[in-house]
Amino acid sequence: MKFFIDTASLKEIQEAQDLGVLDGVTTNPSLMAKEGIAGKNNVMRHYKAICEIVDGDVSAEVISTTFEEMIAEGEELAEIDEQIVVKVPMIKDGIKAIKYFSERGIKTNCTLVFSAGQALLAAKAGATYVSPFVGRLDDISTDGMNLIEDIRLIYDNYGFETQILAASVRHPMHILQCAKIGADVMTGPLSAIMALLNHPLTDSGLAKFLADYAKVNAK
């Protein structure tokens, strides 16, 4: 299972990279805005800076919503670095753009996916990744994990190579549930990844080991 971090913060990306478990990064316009990244040149430079930190795919989302504009914007994004994955919204022109990019060897991430039917379309168009948003489904009292299960079943039925990138992951239980179902990738905040470290028995066990060592090794 690949771990992506869902942020545009270079500090958090570096921290996850230093932990040694990071496989990629996803961003979106909201995350870029949160870091105050504005203006085309700054945006392009920021994506390049992310690519220099992480060894893996970096999703950069198009702002355009028409086929022609998405193609132009996506091709420009893809030129920044070979790690760039063009993130395209699940709309009619987005599906056409994903088909266009996939025929030209440009990696894509179909975002804002909330149903199995949308995921099936993304796979048919040749998306590299499909991003079902589990947290946002949970937010409206709909079990996001059911969607991951449905997509896993459909993709396995037909051997689609599109990778299921469970997005909008919010906490460590989401990560574990995705791992049990067999999502190929999860993307979430650094806090969700770091929370996997925690167990009180680890803390108390380590404290006792160190205390016992200190008893017989006192100066």
Could you list the residues that contact ligand E4P (CB under 6 A)? 6, 26, 28, 111, 131, 133, 135-136, 167-168, 187
Q: Of 191 and 204, which CB lies nearer to ligand E4P in the complex structure? A: 191
| Least spacing, CB of residue 189 vs ligand E4P, in Å | 7
Q: Would residue 87 show up in a list of annotated catalytic residues for this protein? A: yes
* Cβ proximity to ligand E4P, 68 vs 139, nearer residue: 139
Which residues are paired to 166 by β-bridges? 186
Of 121 and 203, the one with the shorter C-beta distance to ligand E4P is 121
Least gap, CB of 187 to ligand E4P (angstroms): 5
Question: Nearer Cβ to ligand E4P, position 179 or 210?
Answer: 179
Task: DSSP for the chain, please give it.
Answer: -EEEEE---HHHHHHHHHHT---EEE--HHHHHHTT--SHHHHHHHHHHHHHH-SSEEEEE----SHHHHHHHHHHHHTT-TTEEEEEESSHHHHHHHHHHHHTT--EEEEEE-SHHHHHHHHHHT-SEEEEBHHHHHHTT--HHHHHHHHHHHHHHHT---EEEEBS--SHHHHHHHHHHT-SEEEE-HHHHHHTT--HHHHHHHHHHHHHHHHHS--
Q: Which of 48, 87, 124, 180 is catalytic?
A: 87
Least separation in angstroms between residue 60's CB and ligand E4P is: 11
CA distances from 186 to 6, 99, 100, 131, 167 (A): 9, 23, 25, 9, 6
Minimum CB–partner distance for residue 166 and ligand E4P (Å): 9
Give the nearer residue to ligand E4P in terms of CB position, either 100 or 133: 133
Distance CA(107)–CA(87), nearest Å, equals 9
Q: How far apart are CB 98 and ligand E4P at their closest, in Å?
A: 15
Catalytic residues, by residue number, are 87
